[in-house]
Amino acid sequence: MYPTQQGSAFSIMKIALWIFIVCVLGQIIGICIFGVYFHTKLDKIEEQMEFNEDYLFLRRIQKCLKGKDVDPTLLNCQEVVAKFRSLISEVTKFDQPGEHEKLTDKRDSFTTPQVIAEPITPKTVPAVAIHLVGDKANSNKEGLQWQEKGYLTLHNQIGYTNGRVRVEVPGAYYVYSQVTFCANSTQFLKAPFVQYVYLKRENEADRILLKGANTFISQTANCALHSSQPGAIFTLRKNDLVYVRVTDPACVTYSPEYTYFGMFKVGDTS
């Protein structure tokens, strides 16, 4: 064999050797990387297992109840199930009405803390409010009459009789009233249209709480609608009566959207 051929064969062997070494090193590096990754995953799994001790405990209880194979290092299944049932029985007894004693920890080797929350009973606050709409058939100068129907008509602990709202629960109330009326040249008005909201209290003279007036009169025969809407907060006593009067009930537009009267409680008074 010529020297040139010998040198060429030696070079090929050298290259093959380097390739083999590189492959071996690659495998070693790959194994190391996989080992680090696997070790990291195991650490995460252990952390999750630590955070889920309660879940594992329940899983083992379930296995005991089903008679499946359990880790031999675990306590005897009969003892575990007996303690678990005893704990459930104590919790059930505590939940019965009239039982307010704290549970005594009788779980021996079980150290899981037990938090007992007191039941929260929501308090229902009744609505003290009323909304009435105009009653054309029965209204007069002595006072406007109203109907317990229309929009948002609700009342509890507050009453209505013969045009007057009666307070059953003392407190601070927002009283409001809107009266819409028609004024034109065919309806001669000797005085401005005035709305009064009165308070009638036992052993006292009736007094005006609110007042609204309008002096504008349309010069055409067409009806010109105007609204008077007073409202304010007052301190009212039990059995107080509130009612509305106007100077000319015949001019009032009694549609529920135009003419209404009501009040609602906004707070208590000392």
Q: pLDDT by residue (tens digit) across 46-98? A: 666 555 566 666 666 777 766 655 555 555 676 766 776 777 776 666 555 55
Whether residue 214 is contained in a domain is answered as: yes
Whether residue 179 is contained in a domain is answered as: yes
Where in 116-240 does DSSP place strands (E)?
129-140, 143-147, 158-161, 164-167, 171-183, 193-200, 207-214, 224-228, 231-236
Question: 3-class DSSP state for residue 63?
Answer: helix
Whether residue 117 is contained in a domain is answered as: no
CA 209 to chain centre: 37
Do 143 and 259 sit in the same domain of this protein?
yes
Do 71 and 133 sit in the same domain of this protein?
no
Distances from the Cα of 135 to the Cαs of 82, 143, 153, 246, in angstroms?
Answer: 74, 11, 14, 14
The predicted model gives 17-39 an average pLDDT of 86
Domain count, the chain: 2
Do 139 and 254 sit in the same domain of this protein?
yes
Do 150 and 195 sit in the same domain of this protein?
yes
- pLDDT tens for residues 224-250? 788 899 999 999 999 999 999 998 898
Q: How confident is the model at residue 197 (pLDDT cuts 50, 70, 90)?
A: very high
pLDDT at 103: 47
Do 163 and 254 sit in the same domain of this protein?
yes
Q: What are the tokens at 102?
A: 């704290």
Do 59 and 183 sit in the same domain of this protein?
no
Whether residue 100 is contained in a domain is answered as: no
- pTM of the entire structure? 0.52
Whether residue 5 is contained in a domain is answered as: no
Do 80 and 175 sit in the same domain of this protein?
no
Q: Supply the CATH number for residue 177's domain.
A: 2.60.120.40
- The fraction of the chain above a pLDDT of 70, given in percent, is 62
Whether residue 218 is contained in a domain is answered as: yes
Do 138 and 234 sit in the same domain of this protein?
yes
In the block, which residue shows the tokens 């209505």?
A: 160
Whether residue 64 is contained in a domain is answered as: yes
Do 145 and 252 sit in the same domain of this protein?
yes
Q: How far apart are CA 230 and CA 227, in angstroms?
A: 10
* Domain range for 163: 129-267
